[in-house]
Amino acid sequence: MLRLLPALALLLLQTPAHAQQADQVATGEITGADHETYKQIPFDVPEGTERITVRLTYDKANKTVVDLGVFDPQRFRGWSGGTRDRFTLSASDASPGYLPGALPAGRWHVQFGVPNARKDAHSPYRVEIFLDRGTVRNASAAIADAPINAAPGWFRGDLHMHDAHSDGSCKSKTGKKIPCPLFRTVDAAANAGLDFVAVTDHNTVSHFGGLRELQPYFDNILLIPGTEVTTFGGHANAIGLTRWVDFRIGTPGVPNVAAVEKAVAEAGAILSINHPGLPSGEACMGCGWVWPDTDWNGITAIEAINANTVNTPLSGIGFWYKQLNAGHRLTGVGGSDNHNPDAEAGRAGIGRPTTVVHAEALSTPAILAGIRAGRVFVDVEGTRTRVLDVEAVSGRTRALMGETLAPGAKLDVTATIAGVDAGKAVLIANGTEAQSLPLAPAVTFHLDRKAACGWIAVNVTTQDGKLLLVGNPIYVRCGR
Ligand SMILES: [Zn+2]
Ligand SMILES: [Zn+2]
């Protein structure tokens, strides 16, 4: 009985947190002999390992305490004492207390310290090692946060911003212009009332560890790791990235854009072309998107609205519509491209514009899936209240934004609009304004099939045509 009780306690500890399959497991017992000693638990890291997550459970009855750390085959890689029961390390990021960097293959050791074990202690422990390697993502799953909101809904976010890890700046305590700490940028996003942000520093992943550290504090806003892949022929945000992606197009490892697209997809991210309406060449080096060999199947989204470019000739909407007219399926999104969290309202402050995504939950996988699915609109002024949802109906078939409708002779397109006081709803068919109607909570356009073939969308504008809400397309399939 004396031996059974701790075992039962351990069993209780193990559910349900241990649903994830471990790659390696070590079990044992802390006894009185371990009191004030260090103990090493070996584990093996195979070649090609990208992430390691370690989880410890042990019987804490009778004041047994186990401190936790880790050594790679050559050196110290981190220590969390008694404060954590799990940690993760990869080349780009690690749990606070741990050191990111290369994960050499070979024999690693989980390092225990035992500050206390009573003479008669028999405390079972279990160390689980989870690895990301190839397409297996056990380590990422074992350290994944629960969704910030598990219910489906509209979530408002900013997909584009910079901080000290690239060219973001703000004022220091004494008023000097300094590289702006990541905390300030994230804090400004939280204060702006956003549900999610993607922090997208140029070509680097050095902010990923910071985001991992900040997320538990910012438990009301989802922090999505991203990189602005910044090339000589254009910029594109890799959103939801798990590792660095080589941006050096034209070097042997990265012959073309397709290679970047493949690497981004393999790293679990989506690619969104940024500010395609900006000029290229000496006017704005690498700003517009000019790569000739873009495989549009590898692109998920277009930043139709970058900062304050909407309603100007620099808007990306024309570029986006052109790709839609060419038959590509691309979700239109917005990004503030914020480089200073103290920017005044109206000057590309964080959350202006806001991308509003209908997602199954507020988590990185769900937001990425929502952007892919395309039930998304852009709130140009970054309000927290405006909503635009669009549904097309023909007979018994119906489709929401991002979906496909194969209509009969006629179809109705209904936009549900909230939060806009005055203006009009504009129906776009294949990139041009087809109809407009006065604003109402629900506005319905009636169309002939011929006018709708290709794609349709609804935007909300002011009375004089300035965009307020930009809807995403419903694809209309006609013929075979
Ligand atoms: Zn850019
Ligand atoms: Zn940028």
pLDDT of residue 293: 81
Listed by start position, the domains of the chain span 4-143, 153-384, 385-480
Backbone angles phi, psi at 62, to 5 degrees: 60, 30
pLDDT of residue 348: 67
User: Hey, what are 301's tokens?
Assistant: 């989204």
Please say whether the beta carbons of 45 and 108 come within 8 A.
yes
pLDDT digits (tens, 9 = 90+) for 15-51: 444 457 899 999 999 999 999 999 999 999 999 999 9
Please say whether the beta carbons of 354 and 187 come within 8 A.
no
CA of 280 to the centre of ligand 1 (A): 11
pLDDT digits (tens, 9 = 90+) for 365-417: 999 999 999 999 999 999 999 999 999 999 999 999 999 999 999 999 999 99
Q: What's the whole-number mean pLDDT along residues 184-205?
A: 97
CA of 387 to the centre of ligand 1 (A): 27
What is the topology classification, in CATH, of domain 385-480? Answer: Immunoglobulin-like (2.60.40)
Please say whether the beta carbons of 49 and 132 come within 8 A.
yes
- From CA 313, how far away is CA 386, in angstroms rounded? 25
**Hey, do 4-143 and 153-384 end up sharing a CATH topology, with the first three levels equal?**
no
DSSP 212: H
Residue type, 480: R
Q: What's the whole-number mean pLDDT along residues 94-119?
A: 98
Q: What's the whole-number mean pLDDT along residues 206-228?
A: 98
Q: What's the whole-number mean pLDDT along residues 74-102?
A: 97
Backbone angles phi, psi at 21, to 5 degrees: -75, 125
User: Hey, what are 198's tokens?
Assistant: 């993607």
- From CA 1, how far away is CA 218, in angstroms rounded? 45
- From CA 236, how far away is CA 227, in angstroms rounded? 8
Ligand lying nearest the CA atom of residue 226: 2
Percent of the chain with pLDDT over 90: 90
Given a cut of 70, whether residue 480 has pLDDT beyond it is no
pLDDT of residue 12: 43
- In the CATH scheme, what architecture does the domain 4-143 have? Sandwich (2.60)
- From CA 58, how far away is CA 7, in angstroms rounded? 10
CA distances 13 to 118, 131, 371, Å, are 21, 22, 37
CA of 302 to the centre of ligand 2 (A): 13
Ligand lying nearest the CA atom of residue 274: 1
Q: What's the whole-number mean pLDDT along residues 106-117?
A: 98
pLDDT of residue 19: 59
CA of 160 to the centre of ligand 1 (A): 9
pLDDT digits (tens, 9 = 90+) for 246-288: 999 999 999 999 999 999 999 999 999 999 999 988 888 889 9
CA of 309 to the centre of ligand 1 (A): 13
In the CATH scheme, what is the code of domain 153-384? 3.20.20.140
Residues 6+ apart with CB under 8 A from 12: none
Beta bridge pairs of residue 81:
68
- From CA 394, how far away is CA 71, in angstroms rounded? 63
